[in-house]
Amino acid sequence: MKKPSEVDLFLLIKRTLRHLARLRFKRARKKALNTRLGYLRRDMELKYIRDLLGRGRFAGRMSYRKILNVTLPKLFSLIENPSESLRALSKLGPIFESNCVIKRISISHEKVSGHDLAAEVLLGRVVKACGTFLSNSGGDVSISGVYPTSDSMAKLIRSVGVVKELEVDGHQIDGSSEKKEKIVLFSRRAIPEGDISVGSLDRKTLTTQDFVDHINKCLLGCKVKLTAHAEQQLAEYVGEILDNVQEHSGNNDWQIVGYLDKNNESRVCEVVIFNFGKTISDTFKELERDDFAKSEMMGYLECHRRGNLMMPNWNEDDLITLVALQGRVSSKNSESDDTRGHGTVDLISFFQDICLGEDGEAKAKMCIMSGKTHIKFDGKYKMKNDGNGRPTIAFNVDNDLRKIPDKHLNEINLIFLSKL
């Protein structure tokens, strides 16, 4: 038998070391994957964010990536441009894939010339959750970004957007700088159930009271304030929305944010209320077949099916979401004379009262997003009582829920979007 030469021994040792290195890498990768899956199972917010960004959409498409670059669209807005805005966020999806190793996340606002509070708040929550997920699952990740060219837009990002969420030293604007920066800030988030102390005031009650105070602060520049009756109504409307989140979404983690830049010529007061959880459509679909609320909803679904009205951009989820906004419609109703289902009606009515200026032109806009359904309110269509006295807004000329709405209600063009 031929005796191995020194060269053969050297190559054998080199191959063995390479093989051991691969084994160590595979074991470390498997451990990191198990750690990631553990965090995903325990953290409801991460689960919903993973679904939002496109669960499994990137599997097998990229084996390794050190840097994730997210370039936001020119109009980064959930009210005016939801599809393109969410598509930009979906570029963070590979973070949750086992075959990707992310070392740096880069967020660029360089091309953004218009945005809204909702898009920026969502971006902040998503980026922070992604960064925390990577850090907690054993990886080192750095997050950087580029501001938009507009100083006023950059100010919002530093006050309530991604810079504020990440608590970037030297860049974030906190509450103590409100007067100096000439902004009015408001931000509240639900307290985890385990952190609520016995005897403390209900977080929702405190939030609604503080939110009314925030709106009055925004109105100070116009030297007006809400009447006592309007204050009570606004508190009730916001409280009803938060009640709906707690009761229907399956995830009591709501957030409400308000922002006003006094230096901005438009002086727009923006408000966003959101949570991650079940969609409006989900809550109705999960009801038992013989449930009263579901049978009522099935009547509208059958009407649209018989009329061949269902199409790619108008589906069951869209119809269920729209019908759920109407008066006396709630997944908790058990008979026809139940009085539940007024919260959203009150909100829409309140918006109708304030959206038009003295010249009759729309001065405010609002949208409701749930799952892939996006409903935009701009004052063109009004909520009116139907023949049975029920408040109805169908977004078509006849105000008829048996007919499809016009372009004010669209399915978000993202087949992988799940829950918001």
Which tokens is 131 given?
A: 């960064």
pLDDT computed for residue 273 by the predictor: 93
pLDDT at 420 over 70: no
pLDDT at 215 over 70: yes
307: pLDDT confidence band, cut at 50, 70 and 90? Answer: very high
- Asked if 160 and 286 sit in the same domain, the reply is no
Q: How far apart are CA 239 and CA 212, in angstroms?
A: 11
% of residues, the chain, pLDDT over 90: 37
Is position 153 within any domain? yes
Read off the pLDDT of residues 91-111 as tens digits, 9 standing for 90 and up. Answer: 998 887 766 678 899 999 999
pLDDT computed for residue 46 by the predictor: 78
Residue entry with tokens 């209600």: 409
Over residues 205-214, the mean pLDDT reads: 93
pTM exceeding the 0.75 threshold for the entire prediction:
yes
Q: Which residues neighbour 36 within 8 Å (Cβ) at sequence distance 6 or greater?
A: 96, 98, 133, 137
Buried b (16+ CB within 10 A) or exposed e, 33-66: eeebeeebeebebbbbbbbbbbbeebeeeeeebe
Is position 251 within any domain? no
Over residues 391-397, the mean pLDDT reads: 92
Is position 62 within any domain? yes
- Asked if 30 and 158 sit in the same domain, the reply is yes
278: pLDDT confidence band, cut at 50, 70 and 90? Answer: confident
Is position 224 within any domain? no
pLDDT at 305 over 90: yes
Phi and psi at residue 275, in whole multiples of 5°? -155, 160
pLDDT at 322 over 50: yes
pLDDT at 59 over 70: no
Read off the pLDDT of residues 220-268 as tens digits, 9 standing for 90 and up. Answer: 888 889 999 989 989 988 988 888 888 888 777 889 999 999 998 888 8
Burial class, 27, CB count within 10 angstroms (exposed 0-12 / middle 13-18 / buried 19+)? exposed
Phi and psi at residue 146, in whole multiples of 5°? -125, 130
Q: How far apart are the first and last CA of the chain?
A: 70
- Asked if 166 and 284 sit in the same domain, the reply is no
Read off the pLDDT of residues 63-79 as tens digits, 9 standing for 90 and up. Answer: 456 888 999 999 999 99
Is position 333 within any domain? yes
User: Alpha-carbon torsion 366, 370, 371, 376, what sign?
Assistant: negative
* Domain boundary pick from 126, 157, 173: 173
Q: 3-state class of 239 per DSSP? A: helix
The Cβ-side half-sphere exposure at 191, using a 13 Å CA radius, reads 13
- Asked if 169 and 39 sit in the same domain, the reply is yes
* Domain boundary pick from 107, 140, 173: 173
pLDDT at 58 over 60: no
pLDDT at 135 over 70: yes
Is position 87 within any domain? yes
Q: How far apart are CA 52 and CA 46, in angstroms?
A: 10
Burial class, 116, CB count within 10 angstroms (exposed 0-12 / middle 13-18 / buried 19+)? buried
Is position 7 within any domain? no
Q: Structural domain of residue 40, as residue ranges? A: 26-173
What mean pLDDT value characterizes the chain? 81
Q: How far apart are CA 148 and CA 74, in angstroms?
A: 10
Based on the structure, what is the number of domains in the chain?
Answer: 2
pLDDT computed for residue 414 by the predictor: 39
pLDDT at 8 over 80: no
CA distance to 87, 88, 379, per residue, from 108 (Å): 14, 10, 33
pLDDT computed for residue 399 by the predictor: 93
Is position 195 within any domain? no
How large is the angle between the packed helices 6-42 and 44-53, nearest 10 degrees? Answer: 110
* Domain boundary pick from 107, 141, 173: 173
